[in-house]
Structure 1
Amino acid sequence: MTSKRWAWTVLFALLAGLAWGHAEPVQVVVVVTPAGQELKIDVQMVGEVSTLPIRGAVVEARFYVRTPELQQLLDEGGGSVSRAGDPDLLGVPVASVPLEEPKEGGYRGALPAPPPGDYVLAVVDTTFKGEAAVAAKPLRLPLPPTGATLALQLPETTTPNRYLLYALLGLALPALVGIGFALAARGERKAD
């Protein structure tokens, strides 16, 4: 294989890997710990197939009051919700917090503890424009002093074709500019 062909193969593999970065289910472990008037939320995200940490995600933790409608969604999902699509499919949250990534694949945040009662804790991933993945499980507050650990699964999502095209063009543009400069410089050397 020529070096040019090899370089194109590697470039295509990298672009395809970036474009379909959320094309597998994601295992999510959520640890909720009481801390005074707040709840600390720690989330670990790992690809189910690749077993790699999910880095650079846009993730939010949300609490919802467990309504009969939410209970029906939980019952349909065998006690949890795992859906792609509308990030607001569970309704209006009573509390939410965007999570920061202090370590690779680990996300963290804190929010004021809602009043005692039955809730649904959801993790919402809106990393890619035009898509969202939601995973949720019931949670009763107040928590025991040791907190609670929930295992969730974010479903695989498909980046909409229009966005994928723009993303690939955006990724390819710098490479095309570099190739243009290289060809222009090569042409000048041949002319000399």
Structure 2
Amino acid sequence: MKNHSVMLVAAYRRLIDEQPRGDGKAGTEVPAPAALVMGALAIEIAFKALICKQNNISETAQLRALRVSDGGHNLLELFGHLDAETQFLFTAGFDKHFTQNRETIIMTSLVLDEALVEEFLRPKSFHEELALASRTFVDWRYSYELDYVSAHISFMKYLVGRVSLLFGIPEDLRFSKPPTMHKKIRDGSGTA
């Protein structure tokens, strides 16, 4: 599971890097939904890998027995299954980081109530931010079906950064080209 999370972190970083900025610099102003979905999935798989390791779980059925909502994708519930020491590794330094780095995106087909926007933009604790981010994987995959979706980009970057630290993922790890099996399918030289 850890390897899957590492690959998803690399894919997330590439998606974030390739988004154009209005000022022509590298990086992103508004990441594509794909980057948010990839980041949320990387965090979910990392939480599951950590839960399995700390509880000596080797079977998927045992992980499913935790009964996490949203099809097993709810980040807040998964976080609650981590031991206190691991939770601390995610929460330590959060306040300092988050007061300095805050990017938000709200995609909507509605005119939003000003109070709702102000509440969304209000600084929050780690657990409040995680509660807001808990459904990112589900909501952003199906954002076209919802009236609005929102994400704190900086919080997603923060979580991916913490996963990177915990798993020892180098900061420069990116996918530079598709895996070989994808090439074989594209050029007709074989099947995956």
TM range (shorter): under 0.3
If each structure's strand is expressed as a fraction of its own residues, which one has the higher value?
Answer: 1
Task: Please identify the structure whose Cα radius of gyration is greater.
Answer: 1
| TM-score, normalising length: structure 1 | 0.25
If each structure's helix is expressed as a fraction of its own residues, which one has the higher value?
Answer: 2
